[in-house]
Structure 1
């Protein structure tokens, strides 16, 4: 990308939610609050911190309201809460959650397995979530799960994802996210799907969520960055400290792309980042190690064992 115009990329830290929800050990609320505080100290400012789901289904996310009440009240931070339906949105707007993130799987099979309703029904619920959020003065994003491939239905035909994207853009959300939920996507798909959304006038914001299940997560993130540079727009990229996380429908998955690894890639590539423009790599590695100890689970990112390296400032 030498010589290309420098366009900001926003890092969205999803470790406190997606990084924890699939781990065997459920962390208490006070430990999750401490994690958010450490991430804020790194300079991360948009963080997905909670999931408003049934605690008997996802015990790792229990106590969402208690968590939001205990987080630092900072004017420079955006706390994001994931919701799966109207009820989740109604819970979220009663807390200090600044942004609601509604998930709509692109395939019916995944939608029913994950949320108990097909894609069309969830798009209707998403319309209500957008209304509920906006009426409460919150921003709302819609994430299209399994947009790059489904563990049950396989490849998603272009006609299918185009139709779902079209209906999702009509919802009036503040941002649309394309999620490679089970880590099967490749850069050519990022280009195809991302360009389709970026060139639509209804797209207020574009975000990507990549898993590194098959070691393509960082290549996909770089492709998304290139797309933003070429289109002259900004793009948000989800990442999780330490690379923790995963999908219960993707056995043996390695989880999300790691925040510290992604930040290193962008820094070395000369790409501006909204938020921690110069993420302190040793400090980020220390947070990843701290979380690893509490989860009794190894760090998935590679920068922690490999260490930082010099290069372009």
Structure 2
């Protein structure tokens, strides 16, 4: 087991949170939201200060019907100023559709494990990486940034442990393609603080100039513990989903992402700036819960902020 380095005395002063609820949050839900409902949720998040969205994925509508409205969603969100809109694309055709819709960045995603990549995009890892070259050429001169994402970066539900070299080899290729950011995806919640530290430390040796983003799921209840490890190592970019929505439809046991309001609460209590307004996120999470027709796994939207006080007279007094 890799050693966990000591925590830094001071974490980052500011953290950028990318909201992935509209994409990763909704792709695995039994309820398929209409575009107008997605836009209502997006507006609630914008009112809470969210400015960076992973808005959708330009994949085959047959594979992920919940995201069939990708182009219409991006075009409408584009009307709101000062948003950064990214979208996942599996190939050059998806990238062409994303550019036509008006995204700011495209996210190329590949799994660190062969088994999951085959399930996710029906390709080998090598074939996925080879196809990314066409996308990189398409983006040249377009003003649209290329971001890389590595799924199953901390473990695979089919293969178990994923060697760190599998992650670093992919990261090196993304750097060669001109990626501006690299996201490490904890697809089925297999990350632990020691693994987080190991991956970050190796990647900083291999692709030192490529900023890292961490994307954790809370499948086993330690998503925020993994965030703390990332903060200790100075990582200042995280992805989260309102209400804890989400999961991967091509990975068994992949439950929700870390919740945006839980993450924002943790950072706020640590004195780290996010630009987000917690009460607004709670309102957005409650809206998401209503839309899904069920309680969502996040905690802060149920309990409220730490200093959300109750009327003493509203609580029964013990007898005897």
TM-score normalized with structure 2 length? 0.89
Equivalence for 1:231: none
1:177, 1:131 → 2: CA distance?
Answer: 21
**How far apart, CA to CA, are the structure 2 residues paired with 1:2 and 1:211?**
24
| Aligned match for 2:168, one of 139, 157, 162 | 162
Q: Displacement of 1:57 after TM fit? A: 1.3
SS in 2 for 1:153: coil
Cα distance, 1:270–1:198 mapped onto 2, change above 3 Å: farther
Q: Does 1:116 align with 2:117?
A: no
**1:68-114 Cα deviation digits (max 9, x unpaired):** 22225234210111111121111101112111111111111111111
Which 10-residue stretch deviates more, 44-53 or 4-13?
A: 4-13
Whose radius of gyration is greater, 1 or 2?
2
**What are the superposed Cα offsets for residues 202-239 of structure 1, whole Å, 9 maximum, x if unpaired?**
533211111000111111111111111xxxxx531000
* Secondary structure, counterpart of 1:50 in structure 2: strand
CA distance in 1, matches of 2:88, 2:168: 24
CA contact (8 A) 2:148 2:174 kept: yes
The aligned counterpart of 2:198 is 192
| Distance (Å, rounded) in 1 between the aligned partners of 2:280 and 2:67 | 26
Runs of 4+ in structure 1 over 6 Å off: none
Quote the residue 2:145 is aligned against: 139
C-alpha change, 1:53 and 1:6, in structure 2 (3 Å) is closer
- Deviation per CA, 1:152-210: give whole Å up to 9, x if none: 11101233323233233222111111111110110111111112223445533211111
Residue 221 (str. 1) matches residue 227 (str. 2): yes
| 1:89 is the counterpart of 2:90 | no
- Between the aligned partners of 1:120 and 1:218, the Cα distance in structure 2 is 32
Query: Gaps spanning 5+ residues in structure 1: where?
Result: 229-233
- Asked if 2 retains the 8 angstrom alpha-carbon contact of 1:9 and 1:225, the reply is no
Q: Output aligned runs, 1:48-59, within 5 Å.
A: 48-59=54-65
Aligned in 2, Cα 1:3/1:148: closer, same or farther, shift over 3 Å?
Answer: closer
CA contact (8 A) 1:169 1:202 kept: no
Superposed, 1:15-30 pairs within 5 Å as: 15-30=21-36
Matched, 1:37 2:38: no
Q: CA deviation at 1:284?
A: 1.4
Question: 1:126 touches 1:142 (CA, 8 Å); kept in 2?
Answer: no
Name the count of aligned residue pairs: 302
Gaps of 5+ in 2: 1-6, 309-320
1:297 aligned partner: 294
Cross-structure match for 1:271:
272
CA contact (8 A) 1:182 1:249 kept: no
| Cα distance change, pair 201–114 in 1 and its aligned pair in 2 (3 A) | closer
The 3-state SS of whatever aligns with 1:137 is: coil
Q: Provide the residue aligned with 2:285 in structure 1.
A: 288
